């Protein structure tokens, strides 16, 4: 049905979603400008596991592709609550880590991650919980962490407690971080030759923990924002136990909150400044055996997790380098899913979801547009011998840094464009699914057909953090309409002239 050209132009101009990222009003957060230590060029980090030394020794890592490399990890001693010394076979790896990294790239910083022991999760987490609850045990732990980091030439410390499980744990975590920061400040004052140690934490993908016995579990946002140099969020590994095939680290998911975008936005909405947030990218894929080879899309019944691979040494987990080996065989069928921004392949009855170079590029575009401090790769030993993904990540990040981060323009990515229908129920459904999937990255959504009402609402809201303005198609208007012209001016100001505004049209 032909419509006058001007009408459709009007609709396309005003059927728009705007993401306004106004300056935070909270006084508790450290401002992003001096950020408490985040390097200006951003963080391009990688975790290295000593268990990968048999196929990916530290000396084989191209350290120039990273600003920070994490030794992941040492654990906590369940008797003394000090940081546990590494097992005998790992001690030389820990001792050599910093000097090996720095001989490859003198500007790279090294971080010692202290975390939950993956083979003894319950015991290890109980020890973290106990330590965090007691002032003198916190002192023992903190002192020993600083000593171990300095003794081995590390530039910083990381807490990878996976995960605090009660509200008391969360409160105590906040206290621990504050005391840890105080100790680091004090130590650097008496140790004038060195920079203060960096302090980071590896956290759940969202600020709210799902699927825990306590359904009301949120991280202590202010303690995190004011004591950490930054937080690394685990935005992957969402579907380990699934009995159907599914993408394991999608950027978007319209049907659940298990997506990268949901996690990032939940942290920002909770009040962590974007300059304190570093987003995780998996260098592993998730594998399953199909029940029926003919049923091989997303959501197909799976018989079991994929077999243990050489590198990961875990069922259901496959390193990117091993994914590549399958991709090189003719019988592998690869699919890029643009809706979720994820990739998967199928080979006989093996089905694997993974992050390809294209997925990584799209995710980093999202991270840059959200003005995050950077990204980390988990784990660097899973990359191929050409460091394909590590290189892709660093190139994308430099490109977005050059483009000035944030303020992406119309057409930058169709993936995020949201055309909102003009009528009630349909519009509401679109808004709901977009909110769920993270397409709308802020909590205030104004919608309705009346431009005057929207403007009035907007005026009330502009001093709050993160207002999202959603304009539905406004009937009976033309570009010359003063109200529409006014909205366009507001959009220009917020999207292109405010330095911190992120914007998608």
Ligand X SMILES: *[C@@H]1O[C@H](CO)[C@@H](O)[C@H](O)[C@H]1NC(C)=O
Q: Which of 301, 348, 424, 486 binds ligand X (CB under 6 A)?
A: 301
Q: Pairing state of beta strands 444-446 and 284-290?
A: unpaired
Q: Which bin fits 186, alpha (ψ -120 to 50), beta or left (φ > 0)?
A: alpha
Instruction: Work out how close the CB of 136 gets to ligand X at its nearest, in angstroms, rounded to a whole number.
Output: 5
Instruction: Work out how close the CB of 86 gets to ligand X at its nearest, in angstroms, rounded to a whole number.
Output: 15
* Closest CB to ligand X among residues 84, 465: 84
Write out the binding residues for ligand X, residues 240-299 only, by CB under 6 A. Answer: 243-244
Using CA atoms, how far residue 344 sits from 217, 283, 336, 466, in Å, is: 33, 14, 7, 34
Q: Are 117 and 126 in contact (CB under 8 A)?
A: no
Q: What is the CA radius of gyration of the chain?
A: 24
Instruction: Work out how close the CB of 186 gets to ligand X at its nearest, in angstroms, rounded to a whole number.
Output: 6
3-state class (DSSP) for residue 125: helix
Instruction: Work out how close the CB of 53 gets to ligand X at its nearest, in angstroms, rounded to a whole number.
Output: 10
Write out the binding residues for ligand X, residues 449-468 only, by CB under 6 A. Answer: none
Return d(Cα 137, Cα 355) in angstroms, integer: 40
* Closest CB to ligand X among residues 129, 188: 188
Q: Are 248 and 286 in contact (CB under 8 A)?
A: yes
Phi, psi (rounded to 5 degrees) for 305: -70, 150
Q: Which stretch binds ligand X (CB under 6 A): 355-363, 370-378, 382-390, 457-465?
A: 382-390
* Closest CB to ligand X among residues 144, 259: 144
Q: Which stretch binds ligand X (CB under 6 A): 18-26, 102-110, 209-217, 383-391?
A: 383-391
Instruction: Work out how close the CB of 45 gets to ligand X at its nearest, in angstroms, rounded to a whole number.
Output: 23
Instruction: Work out how close the CB of 388 gets to ligand X at its nearest, in angstroms, rounded to a whole number.
Output: 6
* Closest CB to ligand X among residues 16, 318: 318
Q: Are 451 and 488 in contact (CB under 8 A)?
A: no
CB-CB neighbours of 256 under 10 Å: 14
* Closest CB to ligand X among residues 142, 454: 142
Q: Are 279 and 43 in contact (CB under 8 A)?
A: no
Instruction: Work out how close the CB of 140 gets to ligand X at its nearest, in angstroms, rounded to a whole number.
Output: 5
291: burial class by Cβ within 10 Å (0-12, 13-18, 19+)?
A: middle
* Closest CB to ligand X among residues 8, 313: 313
**Which of 227, 231, 152, 230 lies closest to 185 in space, CA to CA?**
227
Q: Pairing state of beta strands 350-354 and 342-347?
A: antiparallel
Q: Which stretch binds ligand X (CB under 6 A): 211-219, 378-386, 430-438, 482-490?
A: 378-386
Q: Which stretch binds ligand X (CB under 6 A): 168-176, 332-340, 351-359, 380-388?
A: 380-388
Each residue 303-322 as x (binds ligand X by CB under 6 A) or -, in order, gives ----------x---------
Q: Which residue is nearest to ligand X (CB)?
A: 139
**Which of 121, 108, 129, 234 lies closest to 176 in space, CA to CA?**
129
* Closest CB to ligand X among residues 207, 245: 245
What's the half-sphere exposure (Cβ side, CA atoms, 13 Å) at 472?
Answer: 21
* Closest CB to ligand X among residues 41, 182: 182
Q: Does 329 bind ligand X (CB under 6 A)?
A: no
Q: Pairing state of beta strands 317-319 and 284-290?
A: antiparallel
Total residues contacting ligand X (rule CB under 6 A)?
Answer: 13
Q: Which of 77, 384, 403, 457 binds ligand X (CB under 6 A)?
A: 384
Each residue 98-137 as x (binds ligand X by CB under 6 A) or -, in order, gives --------------------------------------x-
- Strands, E, within 120-237: which ranges? 156-160, 198-203, 230-233
**Which of 182, 181, 183, 171 lies closest to 201 in space, CA to CA?**
181
**Which of 446, 254, 23 lies closest to 262 in space, CA to CA?**
254
Q: Does 191 bind ligand X (CB under 6 A)?
A: no
* Closest CB to ligand X among residues 39, 139: 139
Cβ-proximal residues to 371 (8 Å cutoff; 6+ apart), any chain: 21, 274, 275, 405, 406, 500, 502
Q: Which of 307, 385, 428, 478 binds ligand X (CB under 6 A)?
A: 385
* Closest CB to ligand X among residues 177, 473: 177
Q: Does 87 bind ligand X (CB under 6 A)?
A: no
Write out the binding residues for ligand X, residues 20-59 only, by CB under 6 A. Answer: 51
* Closest CB to ligand X among residues 313, 338: 313
* Closest CB to ligand X among residues 320, 400: 320
* Closest CB to ligand X among residues 297, 404: 297
Return d(Cα 323, Cα 313) in angstroms, integer: 14
Each residue 132-171 as x (binds ligand X by CB under 6 A) or -, in order, gives ----x--xx--x----------------------------
Q: Are 429 and 405 in contact (CB under 8 A)?
A: no
Q: Which residues bind ligand X (CB under 6 A)?
A: 51, 136, 139-140, 143, 243-244, 301, 313, 384-386, 388
């Amino acid at each position: 049905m032909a419509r006058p050209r001007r009408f459709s132009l009007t609709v396309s101009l005003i059927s728009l979603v705007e993401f306004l990222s106004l300056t935070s009003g909270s006084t508790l957060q450290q401002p992003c400008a001096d950020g408490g230590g985040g390097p200006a060029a951003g963080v391009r980090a990688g975790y290295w596991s000593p268990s990968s030394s048999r196929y990916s020794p530290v000396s084989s890592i191209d350290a120039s592709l990273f600003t920070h490399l994490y030794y992941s990890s040492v654990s906590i001693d369940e008797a003394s609550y000090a940081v546990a010394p590494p097992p005998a076979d790992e001690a030389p790896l820990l001792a050599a880590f910093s000097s090996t990294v720095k001989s490859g790239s003198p500007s790279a910083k090294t971080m010692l991650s202290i975390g939950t022991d993956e083979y003894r999760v319950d015991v290890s987490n109980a020890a973290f919980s106990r330590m965090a609850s007691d002032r003198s045990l916190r002192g023992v732990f903190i002192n020993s962490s600083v000593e171990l980091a300095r003794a081995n030439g590390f530039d910083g410390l990381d807490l990878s407690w996976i995960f605090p499980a009660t509200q008391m744990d969360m409160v105590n975590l906040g206290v621990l971080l504050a005391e840890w920061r105080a100790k680091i400040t004090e130590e650097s004052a008496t140790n004038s030759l060195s920079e203060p140690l960096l302090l980071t934490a590896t956290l759940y993908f969202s600020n709210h923990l799902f699927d825990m016995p306590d359904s009301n579990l949120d991280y202590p946002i202010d303690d995190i924002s004011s004591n950490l140099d930054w937080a690394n969020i685990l935005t992957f590994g969402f579907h380990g136990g699934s009995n159907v095939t599914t993408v394991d680290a999608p950027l978007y998911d319209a049907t659940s909150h298990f997506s990268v975008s949901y996690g990032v936005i939940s942290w920002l909405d909770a009040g962590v400044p974007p300059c304190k947030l570093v987003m995780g990218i998996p260098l592993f894929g998730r594998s399953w055996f199909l029940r029926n080879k003919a049923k091989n899309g997303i959501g197909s019944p799976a018989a079991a997790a994929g077999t243990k691979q050489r590198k990961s040494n875990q069922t259901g987990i496959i390193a990117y380098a091993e994914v590549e080996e399958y991709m090189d065989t003719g019988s592998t069928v690869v699919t890029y899913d643009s809706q979720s921004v994820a990739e998967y392949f199928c080979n006989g009855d093996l089905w694997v979801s993974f992050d390809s170079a294209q997925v990584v590029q799209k995710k980093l575009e999202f991270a840059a547009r959200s003005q995050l401090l950077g990204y980390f790769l988990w784990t660097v030993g899973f990359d191929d011998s050409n460091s394909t993904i590590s290189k892709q990540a660093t190139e994308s990040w430099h490109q977005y840094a050059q483009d000035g981060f944030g303020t992406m323009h119309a057409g930058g990515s169709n993936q995020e464009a949201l055309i909102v229908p003009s009528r009630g129920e349909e519009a509401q459904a679109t808004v709901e699914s977009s909110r769920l999937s993270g397409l709308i990255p802020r909590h205030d959504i104004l919608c309705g057909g009346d431009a005057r009402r929207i403007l009035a609402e907007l005026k009330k809201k502009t001093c709050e953090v993160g207002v999202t303005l959603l304009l539905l198609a406004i009937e009976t208007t033309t570009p010359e309409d003063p109200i529409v012209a006014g909205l366009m001016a507001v959009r220009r100001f917020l999207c292109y002239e405010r330095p911190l505004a992120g914007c998608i049209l």
